[in-house]
Amino acid sequence: MLIQRDGLRVVIGLGKTGLSCVRYLKAQGYPVAVNDTREHPPGLAELRAEFPDVEVSLGKLDAELFLRASEVISSPGISIREPAIAAAMAAGVSVVGDVELFCRAAKAPIVAITGSNAKSTVTTLVGLMGEAAGKRTGVCGNIGTPVLDMLAEGEKDLYVMELSSFQLETTHSLKAAVAVVLNLSEDHMDRYTGMVDYHQAKHRIYRNCERFVFNREDALTVPLIADDLPRASFGLGVPDLNDFGVRVVEGKPYLARGRETLMPVSELQIFGDHNVANALACLALGEAVGLPMDAMLNTLRSFTGLKHRCQRVAMHNGIGWYNDSKGTNVGATLAAINGLGAAISGKILLIAGGVGKGQDFTPLSPAMAQFGQSLILIGEDASVIDVAVAAALPRFHCTSLDEAIAQALRLAKPGDAVLLSPACASFDMFKHYEDRGDQFVAGVRRLVEGHA
C-alpha cells in the first residue's frame, strides 16, 4: 500500500475525465479534492461511492480550496484566466491538466497533433497506421479514451495524441517524438484575445519536441524553434526532397515523398484536397516515428473517414447529402466547401449557423461565390453569417434543422450537394456537435429518402 504523500491535489471538473484524474491521483497516494461549477455534475454518485473520503465542492470555482492545493488539475473547458484559478497561480499553485500528468508518466514515444481543423482525422489515421505496423498504439488526448485511463491499460509502443489549444495551455512536460500544427484559422475567439494569443497556445506543442512536421502552405504552422531540428513538410504542391506532396505523372496525381511517387490520389477513400493534405501529414508523422511506408499506404487505401466529418449520408435523385457537423469553425467549413465543391458537378447548398464564438465569417465569401448555390442559416449567429458572407447567393433563415433540410430539398438539383457544415458550435440548439450531426442524418432519412 502506498504511503500518502503530502500536498493536496484539486481536480476541477468531474465527468469521465475528472474521475480518471481522481483514480490516478489516489493510486499515486495523493490526498484529493474535487471542485465543479455544476451542482450535479456527471459522475458525482460514482465518485462518492468509490472515494467517500474525497472532499467535494460544487456550484462555483472554489478559490479558497485552490489556495490550499499543491497542484490543481483543471478541466480544459475552464479557462486558466478565470479569477479564482489565476489567483491560485499567482500564489504559486501549479495548475496543470490531465495531459500533463500523462506526459510525466508515459514512456513510449508520442506523436502530438494539433491544428484548427482535421486533428481527429489525422490522429485516427496515424493510430491506425501504428496498429497496421504491429505496434501497440494508444490513441488519446482530445479523442477517445481519457489519457490517464490509457496509462492504466499498460504501456504502449506508441501514443498518438490529439491536443487542443486548451489542453496545451496546461501541459508543460510534453516532449513529443514528433509534433505538428496542421493548420491555423480563427477559432475560440471567445476565449482568446486574438490570433496571436491562439497561435501561442497551439505552438506550445512544439516545446522540447525531437522533430516536427509543418504545413508549408500555412506559414502560421511553422515553429519558431531551433533550425537544426529534424523536420518535414506537407502540402499539395510538388515536394522537395524528404518532404511530402503531390506529383502529377501522365496526368494522374500521386501522393509523393520527394521525387518518389507513393500511390495514386484516386485510391484514397476520403475525398477533397483537404483530405489529400491530411493523408500527406499522416505519412510525414508516421515516417518520423519509423512506421513502414507499406503499412501506412495500406491504411490510407482502407480508411473511409470519420463520422460527422464530411460524411456522405445519402445520395438521392442525384443530390448528395453531407454531414460535416464537426465543422465548428470557419476554417473547417472552408475546407469542406472547397474540397466538396471541386469534387461535384453541381453546386453546394450550405447549412450553417450556431454559436459563432466571435469568429469572422467573411473568409467564407470567396468559396461560396465559387461553389455555392444557396446559404441556409440556422441558430444564434445566423444573422451574423448572413451579413458577413458577401457572395451574391440566395439565403434563407430557418428556425430548425428539419426546416433547413426541407428548404434544401426544395432548392437542390441533380449534381448538387447539401452540406451541413455550420462553422459554429452547437450548444444553442443541440447537446453537442454529434447530436447536431445525428439529427441531420435522421432528418435527411426522414424528409429526403422518404420523399418520392
H-only helix segments in 358-432? 364-371, 382-388, 401-411
Would 1 be classed as within a structural domain?
no
| Residue 119 is among the residues annotated as catalytic for this protein | yes
Residue-averaged pLDDT of the chain: 93
Angle CA 347–349–351, to nearest 5: 155
Q: What percent of the chain has pLDDT over 90?
A: 84
Angle CA 344–348–352, to nearest 5: 140
* Residue of 26, 188, 203, 308 marked catalytic: 188
**Domain residues for 185?**
102-302
Judgement on whether residues 209 and 88 belong to the same structural domain of the protein? no
Q: What is the CATH number of the domain that holds 354?
A: 3.90.190.20
- For residues 340, 358, 199, 309, the Cα torsion angle rounded to the nearest 10 degrees is -30
Segment 286-298 mean pLDDT? 98
C-alpha cell at 76: 480544459
What's the structural domain count of the chain?
Answer: 3
* Residue of 26, 35, 117, 119 marked catalytic: 119
Query: According to the model, what pLDDT value does residue 308 have?
Result: 87
Task: Determine how many CB atoms are found less than 10 A away from the CB of residue 427.
Answer: 15
Kindly tell me if the per-residue pLDDT of 374 is higher than 90.
Answer: yes
List, for residues 88-120, the tens digit of each pLDDT value.
Answer: 999 999 999 999 999 999 999 999 999 988 899
Judgement on whether residues 379 and 360 belong to the same structural domain of the protein? yes
CA–CA distance, 68 with 271 (Å, rounded to integer): 53
C-alpha cell at 246: 503531390
| Residue 307 is among the residues annotated as catalytic for this protein | no
pTM above 0.85, yes or no: no
List, for residues 116-168, the tens digit of each pLDDT value.
Answer: 888 999 999 999 999 999 999 999 998 878 899 999 888 899 999 999 999 99
Q: Which of 273, 302, 331 is the last residue of a domain?
A: 302
Kindly tell me if the per-residue pLDDT of 286 is higher than 90.
Answer: yes
β-partners of residue 264 are 254
Beta strands 94-96 and 231-234 are: unpaired
Q: Which of 302, 332, 357 is the last residue of a domain?
A: 302
List, for residues 264-274, the tens digit of each pLDDT value.
Answer: 999 998 878 88
Would 3 be classed as within a structural domain?
no
Q: What is the CATH number of the domain that holds 166?
A: 3.40.1190.10
The label of the residue with cell 507513393 reads 262
Q: Which of 64, 96, 128 is the last residue of a domain?
A: 96
| Residue 451 is among the residues annotated as catalytic for this protein | no
Query: According to the model, what pLDDT value does residue 290 have?
Result: 98
Query: According to the model, what pLDDT value does residue 451 have?
Result: 59
Judgement on whether residues 318 and 431 belong to the same structural domain of the protein? yes
Kindly report the backbone phi and psi dihedral angles of residue 145, in degrees, each rounded to the nearest multiple of 5, phi listed first: -70, 135
* Residue of 35, 117, 135, 142 marked catalytic: 142
Kindly tell me if the per-residue pLDDT of 1 is higher than 70.
Answer: no
